[in-house]
Amino acid sequence: MATGSENWNLTVFRDSPAASEATADVVSAAIRSKPDAAIAFPTGSTPLHMFDILAARAARGDIDFSSVTVFCLDEYVGVTVEDPNSLTRWLKEGVLDRIGVKFERLHTLPVTAEDLTAAAAEYEKAIAARGGLDLAVLGLGPNGHIGYNEPGSSAGSRTRVITLTPESRSQASAYWEGAVQIPDRAMTMGVGTLLEAKRIVLLVIGDAKADMLRKTLEDPMSVEVPASWLRIAGPRLTVIADEAAASSLSVMHPGQSAEPEHRGGASRDRSN
């Protein structure tokens, strides 16, 4: 089994707005230090508030995304950007148009290619040609997936097509109140692809994720919980959680801290 140095960082914030703001701060800092950074953003409900904060900062001129390159994390196989259930479309309309990343600077997953395997390998080359990802912002799937690396995904997995679990398909169709048919396959950046990012932020919000966050951070790393592999990244991994998501954690972790104005609670202070 792969082992990590386990010196990753976890910061627990009082609530979702505080955790979202801290994540937006990481993104902002990454772009200020490298205006042409290559970034992967998650879809889903978790990052919505973070995207609102980034859009507000961009509108005020506090941060400039115009030179940033974005690589899509995952997309359903066979789905074009015009499809209502396209994750790329969601990212474009809900995020990139608002923060000022032009569509030409978005690398879309080649999900309509004839040879999906070869096309996925080309996508990996495009990331490598860009010097790798500077920052990967990730959410945590209810079954421990990151991107669409479903249970069974190895630490070395690369961009590829994966069959979605029924649980993930029903999670996805819930975003559309069940009105949209979710394909049974997706292309996702691999765990190994993500592990090579210079910085990884895992944002986890809400008590529904508490048990999965505990498994992610406290159980032995395994294919059962693909997010657990992120610990291999060591200090390049920052986990940002709200108190609800962190409520099942049973031990203090190296690098764990509370937001500065929230220190003093014994269970969330790194001094013990």
Residue 219 is among the residues annotated as catalytic for this protein: no
Looking at the Cβ atoms of 37 and 73, the one nearer to ligand GLP is 73
Q: What is the DSSP letter of 114?
A: S
- From the list 77, 42, 44, the residue with the least C-alpha distance to 186 is 77
For 244, the token pair is 């609800």
Stretch that binds ligand GLP, among 21-29, 32-40, 167-175, 223-231 (CB under 6 A): 167-175
Candidate list 75, 134, 150, 243, residue with the active-site label: 150
Write the binding mask 124 to 143 for ligand GLP: x where contact by CB under 6 A, - elsewhere: ---------------x-x--
- When the beta carbons of 139 and 192 are compared against ligand GLP, the nearer one is 139
d(CA 77, CA 75): 6
Catalytic residue selected from 74, 75, 134, 196: 74
Instruction: Look up 272 and say whether it is catalytic.
Output: no
Could you say which of 9, 49, 134, 145 is catalytic? Answer: 145
- Stated as kind and residue range, the H or E segment containing 19 is helix 16-33
Catalytic residue among 143, 167, 253, 262: 143
| Residues 184-223, mask of contacts with ligand GLP (x by CB under 6 A) | ----------------------------------------
Say how far apart CA 104 and CA 271 lie, in whole Å: 47
Residues sharing a CB contact under 8 Å with residue 227, sequence separation 6 or more, in sequence order: 138, 140, 141, 144, 145, 146, 202, 212, 216
Instruction: Using the CB atoms, write b or e for 167-184: b if 16+ within 10 Å.
Output: ebbebbeeeeeeeeebbe
Of 29-88, which residues contact ligand GLP (CB under 6 A)? 42-46, 73-74
Out of 20, 108, 171, 238, the only residue in the binding site for ligand GLP (CB under 6 A) is 171
Q: How far is the CB of 193 from ligand GLP (least distance, A)?
A: 14
Distance of closest approach, residue 191 Cβ to ligand GLP, in angstroms:
13
H or E element that contains 162 = strand 160-163
CB of 230 to ligand GLP, least distance (A): 12
Q: Which is nearer to ligand GLP, 7 or 207 (CB)?
A: 207
Q: Is 9 a catalytic residue?
A: no
The Cα 218–Cα 196 span in angstroms is: 22
* 204, containing H or E segment: strand 200-204
**Angstrom distance (rounded) from CA 264 to CA 173:** 41
Exactly one of 13, 76, 123, 148 binds ligand GLP (CB under 6 A); which one?
A: 148
The residue ranges that bind ligand GLP (CB under 6 A) are 42-46, 73-74, 139, 141, 147-148, 168, 171-172
Q: Active-site residue numbers?
A: 74, 143, 145, 150
